[in-house]
Amino acid sequence: MKEFLSPEAAKLSPYTPGEQPLDKKYVKLNTNESPFPPSPKVLDALSREESEKLNLYPDPACRVLTDAIAKRHGVKPENVIAGNGSDEILAFAFRAFCGSGIGAAYADITYSFYKAQTALFGLDATVIPLRDDFSLCVDDYLNFPGTVFIANPNAPTGMEISVKDISRLAKSNPERVVVIDEAYVDFGGETCVPLTARYDNLLVVQTFSKSRSLAGGRVGFAIGAAGLIAALNRVKYSFNPYNVNRLSLVAGAAAMEDEAYFQACCEAIQANRAWTADALKKIGFTVLPSKANFVFAKSDRLSGEEAYRGLKERGVLVRWFDAPRLKDYLRISIGSRDQMQVLIDRLKEMSEGT
């Protein structure tokens, strides 16, 4: 059969999603999803009446959603863009703010989607190593002339850099864009959204997938100066004007407006994270400090691969990265307390050889 793949597509570095197995039921702690259902207000918003409108295109401006986001974060609607998950917003950013003579910089250990996007758009990428302790030092980015992408908290480590440092980075060169990917910020991190009023070159990207329990709804957004949002919309309207479906628009707006449910879920995850980190340390794990809905940990008795495969055989899925500097570690999503207890019990069995 003829190979139809173009030379350009053959050079891509596709993102590898976490496993979504259908063969059996697992305790699923591998893709950083919320263990909680969406807000009851979301379920109410997804009414039969709304479903009957699926024969019509959704609002390309996503106004019901962007208005809710703007209100919650104290910005104007023109400072907000909504997308089909934060991944789409990030893709828009790579296309809008990088190109001929404008490269992208990001860490060697971070969200691997950045690498996939630079390959997809044929961009020059500068990969800057994290320090030996997995920390990111903004000093390493101060002299980079292109667009900077930083996940904060970082993935897969869960570690955070300060808003003060990000402010220093944005201020250091007003001529280049700094993109802060805050997919996990709601679990104890400090958001940079207030800084967008001070720096016209700072874009903050967030998602509804984690803290607002809408991973299946595919809703994300960015907040920034009106000029940055206009640039993203230029890419959006050149690619997919109706990028957020009708049901996700109303679901996202309802989720954004239910502050009490959002806070309760985030607090539960943080409590379960603290409990899990303590339990892991008691059975010989080193656990990095996390401000995300996961922990990054390694065992003093089991290799990363042994722990990953052993857990999978026992019905627990976690994420393992077969890569230098990472192969000894597991990234473990934080689920319900019952799910985390199962994880600890299975790891104890493996460590004790039972």
Same domain, 197 and 305: no
Of 222, 243, 258, the residue that ends a domain is 258
Say if 143 falls within a structural domain: yes
Task: Indicate the number of domains in the chain.
Answer: 2
CB 294 within 8 A of CB 269: no
Same domain, 62 and 177: yes
Residue 149 has pLDDT above 80, yes or no: yes
Residue 22 has pLDDT above 90, yes or no: no
Say if 299 falls within a structural domain: yes
The band of 9, judged by pLDDT with boundaries at 50, 70 and 90, is confident
Say if 1 falls within a structural domain: no
Specify the CATH number for the domain of residue 101: 3.40.640.10
Same domain, 202 and 244: yes
Same domain, 158 and 62: yes
Say if 286 falls within a structural domain: yes
Residue-number span of the structural domain to which 296 is assigned:
7-37+260-352
Q: Which of 121, 117, 123 is nearest to 103 (CA)?
A: 123
Range 80-92 average pLDDT? 98
Q: Is 310 exposed, middle or buried (0-12, 13-18, 19+ CB in 10 A)?
A: middle
Same domain, 312 and 168: no
Same domain, 248 and 340: no
Residue 321 has pLDDT above 80, yes or no: yes
CB 318 within 8 A of CB 311: yes
Pairing of strands 147-151, 202-207: unpaired
Say if 114 falls within a structural domain: yes
Same domain, 239 and 287: no
Of 231, 258, 285, the residue that ends a domain is 258
Q: Report the b/e string of 270-306 with b at 16+ CB within 10 A.
A: bebbeebbebbeeeebebbebbbbbbbbbbeebebee
Sheet holding 147-151, edge to edge: 80-83, 220-223, 202-207, 178-181, 147-151, 104-107, 125-128
Range 279-299 average pLDDT? 97
Say if 127 falls within a structural domain: yes
In degrees, rounded to 5, the angle at the alpha carbon of residue 159 between the alpha carbons of residues 154 and 164 is 90
Range 130-136 average pLDDT? 96
Q: Report the b/e string of 174-203 with b at 16+ CB within 10 A.
A: eebbbbbbbbbbbbbbbbbbebbeebebbb
- Percent share of the chain, pLDDT over 70: 98
Say if 280 falls within a structural domain: yes
pLDDT at 262: 98
Of 258, 286, 302, the residue that ends a domain is 258
Mean pLDDT score across all residues of the chain: 95
Same domain, 240 and 212: yes
Say if 2 falls within a structural domain: no
Range 330-341 average pLDDT? 98
5 vs 23: which has the higher pLDDT: 5
The band of 239, judged by pLDDT with boundaries at 50, 70 and 90, is very high
Residue 246 has pLDDT above 60, yes or no: yes
User: What SS3 state is found at 107?
Assistant: strand
pLDDT, tens digit, 9 for 90 and up, residues 56-81: 999 999 999 999 999 999 999 999 99
User: What SS3 state is found at 290?
Assistant: coil
Same domain, 28 and 107: no
Same domain, 348 and 274: yes
pLDDT at 6: 84
User: What is d(CA 333, CA 317) in angstroms, rounded to the nearest whole number?
Assistant: 9
The band of 354, judged by pLDDT with boundaries at 50, 70 and 90, is low
Same domain, 16 and 88: no
Same domain, 221 and 314: no
Specify the CATH number for the domain of residue 17: 3.90.1150.10
Largest CA distance in the chain: 60
